[in-house]
Amino acid sequence: MAPAAQSEGPRTSSTTMRNSELGNPIPRVKVDLTEDDFRESAYEIMLAATGTAALSARSVGSARSKPDKGITAVAASRMKKALGLKLNTGVSRRGGKPRTTAELMRDQMLIADTVDLRTRRALSRAAAGQASRRTEHMLVPLELLQNIPASAFTDSSEHVRWLKRQLRILEAGLLAHPLVRGDSQGVEALRLRQCLKEMYCRASDTGKNTESIQALRNAAMARAGRPLNGESNEDVLHWADGYPFNINLYVALLGCVFDHVEEGTVLEELDDMLEMFKKTWVVLGIDQLTHNMLFMWVLFRQYVNTGQKELDLLGAAESQMAEVVKDYKSARPEQWNLLHSILTAIQTWTERRLLSYHDSFPEGARGPLEKVLALAVQSAEVIGEDMHQDKRRKVKISIAISTVDLYVRSSIRTAFAQMMESVDTRRKAADAPIPALAQLAKDTSALVSKEIENFSPSLKEWHPYAGGVAAVTLHACYSREIKQYMSGVSALTADTVQVLEAADQLEKSLVQVVVEDGVYAEDGGKALIREMPPFEADRAVGNLAKKWVEEKLQMLKEMVTLNVSKESWEPNSLKERYASSAVELLRIVDEMLNTYFALPVSQFPELLQDLVNGIDNALKIYATQAIGSCGEKDALIPPIPPLTRCKTKKSWFGKGRSDRGSPKPKGTLKKEPSSAAVYDLPHICLRMNTLHHLLVEVDFIEKKIRTGWRKDSALSGHVPSMQPNTEAVDSNLYETRSLLKEGIDKLMEIAAYRVVFVDLRPVLWDRLYVGGVASSRISAVIEELDTQLGIISDSSVEQLSNRVIGSLMRACFEGLMLVLMAAGPMRSFTVSDASMLQEDLKSMKDLFIADGDGLPATQVEREAAFATEVVSLFSLPTSEVIQRFNSVYGIGKGGTKPSLPSITGTWSASDPDTLLRILCYRGDDTASKYLKKTFRLPNNEMLLPSQPVSTNV
């Protein structure tokens, strides 16, 4: 109730539960009520429910009643015997005096004598005033409010606290958690809320005839008197039986069965106390199942809160759970929710111990272990049965087996891990220290023996082959360690052999346990055996070597990828002719081969073949990455502009003028260097040198493999044939060798095309023959080429230098042809230019011959033959060029309009495209008129999209 919550500060309980470890599965109510409030109100309800006889036992002025008859050790212990609780002789006493059950309840619930007397008087007056109603159907807080005036309290603050508690109890039972549901905002509910608010604010004047108490009575009785389906509304009040309000009240009652002095002891008067509690069931809406659930929880909670010393409490909780299991299937929804919450709390606590039962029960402790295990498994079964039923397939899951299976595997793993932490200490303390894994094998064997002797007898009640599961789990744990150990061993040593022998003995003992326990499994233990892939110690040598090869090759592959990605390919001095990453790669390969041939594995030729294949693959990866990032040579060649016709030499520029400062006409070569252009010539040369160095070293690697294999085979008595094609191991790195050769050739072409189409662009593309041949000769190109040849000489190894220059020469001739054939409308040529063009071509050839110090003259002439042939065409008259073109292309033989010939890029006197381009760049009217008439070519205007140039020179 909002006003109540606002008018008071924090309220604490005097009997706070020590359940931080357990948690509290009992749902909280929506009203601000403490454990003290529940305890005091539960006592009042119990007094009212016990009836007139009990109330009159403490009537005003009456003498102290005599002790209950029949309270003997035997009679009082009947319920305790049934629950397995320990028995105490004699009658419960305080100060040496015997007590009645009513007095005992008052003391157990911490009710002061004055409070008890005041409450009994009020309830007696209320009972006398409504003789026609049964006392257990009193609306207790209402009767107490009406029959206990403020004057009955010596302390006004005590009266206010008492009054507010009664109002909160009414709010909880009739508004927050009513059994009979209805409109929470209806007229009756709003009226009751208003009455409670007014009473709460006034906190005084609660006499019988006051207006406020009468209004409160009318409103409360209207709510409490609402019947359930099928009930009559006579003598039936529903005010404290709504969930979970009633549960909290009943737990407060059950909590008083434990001795306040010896908290782990249940009072001998348990039978009488439970009988008294049972009389509250009608008021609280409690039935036998609910009682069993809550009593189970209270017993279990007390066991935990008293330090887990009183094993009989745990046994009693187990007995109560057995009663719950019998009847839980008939539970109502709210009962199932409560049971689920309680069982979850119990299961959570028990699982924390059972998941590591070797720590929780170090010596087996069969009593506690069996009882905790029973609670855990039965909780899991009740919770799991509802979750795992498959009615369609009628599949029944063995929840007990799966639950215990989880505990065994978890605890075994934990015990194994703890054992590993101290294995080195025990190993060193031994008289003859043995390898750690050999010591671990001995400890594991001892652990499985302890498991079978101390724990399996208890576990097998729920899991018939629990010992086998433990053995399987230990096998998996040790298997993981032995595999990890073997993966780190690079050679077979005495320690390795000792470890393998210990592992073999352990495996045999674990398999024996599984076989013995497996007979109790449905499949005879086959599933367990399948969980135990053998250690295979007899094959460990081969596996060890294989593992080593695999790891080394993986490491080599990763190293190659990492080193190539970090390689800058920039020489810091002229002495560095190849990359450091290649040197590191070769060093690692050499170390791998040396280490491998030191291993006693000559009987496994397939391992050496795997190693050879892996080295071959690593070298290929290196070569591929070294080549691939440089791009393709074709990407360096500019696109060919569309064909146009040139009328006169003055169509775009004046005679003798260069194009510097002139607007670039449509169709000139675009300056779009590819990504490969970012690599300069020394950079590419370093890559070529590196591949060449690897190519040379491949021969030594192959020789080392053949020599090492034959040596090992001879030592083992197995000498292979000396003929390479009959050897058991193929040592030839075919693919690497082929890839390196192709890569060197490719990088040479990229370097050459980069020089011609990127480095020489300012002098070759932007200046050569622009403004007329006479005004822009090839001398500037020759000068720049001479510089590039010097760079090649300085950056390339001697074995590659002439090959690189040869590639550059071929690229230069092709570049010159592209200037003549496809350099755009900024250039035009006449017959008179032919002699100068021939002189320029000769100058370029002379550069590469270098007065006999360069390339052979025959090689230069052979490579320049196509260029010589094309340049000779420039000396022909226009009419003859037209005649040749018509003849080669078939112009005039048919009546149809001819189309432009395709671009072949194979410049020659018999190529129609070559002849047509000479006409397009011929700066006279005859050529222009022919092109306009035959192909309708525009005058220096775009006609066709740019087309790539074929490089099949």
Task: Write the secondary structure of 841-872 as one string of H (helix), E (strand) and C (coil).
Answer: HHHHHHHHHHHHCCCCHHHHHHHHHHHHHHHH
Residue 238, domain member (yes or no): yes
What pTM did the predictor assign? 0.58
Residue 695, domain member (yes or no): yes
One domain for residues 110 and 201: yes
Residue 135, domain member (yes or no): yes
- What confidence tier does 384 reach under pLDDT thresholds 50, 70, 90? confident
The whole-number pLDDT of residue 133 equals 64
Cβ-in-10-Å burial (0-12, 13-18, 19+) of 231 comes to: exposed
What is the rounded CA–CA span in Å between residue 507 and residue 479?
Answer: 9
One domain for residues 492 and 639: no
What is the rounded CA–CA span in Å between residue 488 and residue 496?
Answer: 11
One domain for residues 648 and 790: yes
What is the rounded CA–CA span in Å between residue 118 and residue 100?
Answer: 19
- Picking from 303, 397, 405, the residue whose alpha carbon sits closest to that of residue 345 is 303
Residue 918, domain member (yes or no): no
Residue 557, domain member (yes or no): yes
One domain for residues 630 and 714: yes
For the chain, the straight-line distance linking the first and the last C-alpha, in angstroms and rounded, comes to: 99
Domain total for the chain? 4
* Reduced 3-state DSSP string for 351-369: HHHHCCHHHHCCCCCHHHH
The angle subtended at Cα 510 by Cα 507 and Cα 514, nearest 5°, is 135
One domain for residues 122 and 101: yes
- What confidence tier does 136 reach under pLDDT thresholds 50, 70, 90? low
Residue 526, domain member (yes or no): yes
- What confidence tier does 71 reach under pLDDT thresholds 50, 70, 90? very low
What is the rounded CA–CA span in Å between residue 468 and residue 868?
Answer: 91
pLDDT (average), residues 364-384: 88
Beta bridge mates, 922: 829
Helix (H, G, I), strand (E, B) or coil at 444: helix
Last residue of a domain, one of 397, 417, 433: 397
Kindly report the backbone phi and psi dihedral angles of residue 174, in degrees, each rounded to the nearest multiple of 5, phi listed first: -105, -20
Whether residue 244 is preceded by a cis peptide bond, meaning omega within 30 degrees of 0, is yes
Helix (H, G, I), strand (E, B) or coil at 922: strand
* H helical segments located in 232-332: 245-254, 270-278, 281-284, 288-305, 311-327
One domain for residues 580 and 497: no
| DSSP single-letter state for residue 950 | P
Non-local CB neighbours of 308 within 8 Å, separated by 6+ positions: 314, 368
The whole-number pLDDT of residue 127 equals 86
pLDDT above 60 for 94: no
Last residue of a domain, one of 535, 569, 591: 535
Neighbour tally for 383: CB within 10 Å: 16
pLDDT tens for residues 14-66? 333 445 578 899 999 999 999 999 999 999 999 999 874 454 444 333 333 44
The whole-number pLDDT of residue 894 equals 57
- Picking from 335, 397, 407, 332, the residue whose alpha carbon sits closest to that of residue 369 is 407
What is the rounded CA–CA span in Å between residue 920 and residue 923?
Answer: 8
One domain for residues 481 and 598: no
- Say which range, 179-183, 448-452, 467-471, 514-518, has the weakest mean pLDDT: 179-183
Residue 275, domain member (yes or no): no
One domain for residues 377 and 483: no
Non-local CB neighbours of 693 within 8 Å, separated by 6+ positions: 577, 578, 582, 797
The angle subtended at Cα 62 by Cα 60 and Cα 64, nearest 5°, is 120
**Domain ranges, residue 695:** 549-876
Last residue of a domain, one of 198, 224, 250: 250
pLDDT above 70 for 883: yes
What torsion, rounded to 10 degrees, do the Cα atoms 897, 898, 899, 900 define? Answer: -140
Kindly report the backbone phi and psi dihedral angles of residue 97, in degrees, each rounded to the nearest multiple of 5, phi listed first: -105, 140
For the chain, how many residues are written?
A: 953
Region of 205 (left: φ > 0; alpha: ψ -120 to 50; beta: rest) is: left
One domain for residues 411 and 391: no
Neighbour tally for 642: CB within 10 Å: 21
One domain for residues 411 and 349: no
pLDDT above 70 for 176: yes
Residue 730 parent element (H or E): none
Beta bridge mates, 640: 947
Compute the half-sphere exposure of residue 288: CA atoms within 13 Å on the CB side of its CA. Answer: 7
Beta bridge mates, 829: 922
- Picking from 925, 674, 948, the residue whose alpha carbon sits closest to that of residue 818 is 948
Residue 755 parent element (H or E): none
- Picking from 162, 64, 168, 177, the residue whose alpha carbon sits closest to that of residue 122 is 162
One domain for residues 49 and 157: yes
The whole-number pLDDT of residue 945 equals 32
Residue 8, domain member (yes or no): no
pLDDT tens for residues 180-222? 887 777 788 999 999 999 888 877 555 455 788 899 999 999 9
One domain for residues 408 and 358: no
The whole-number pLDDT of residue 41 equals 97
pLDDT above 90 for 247: yes
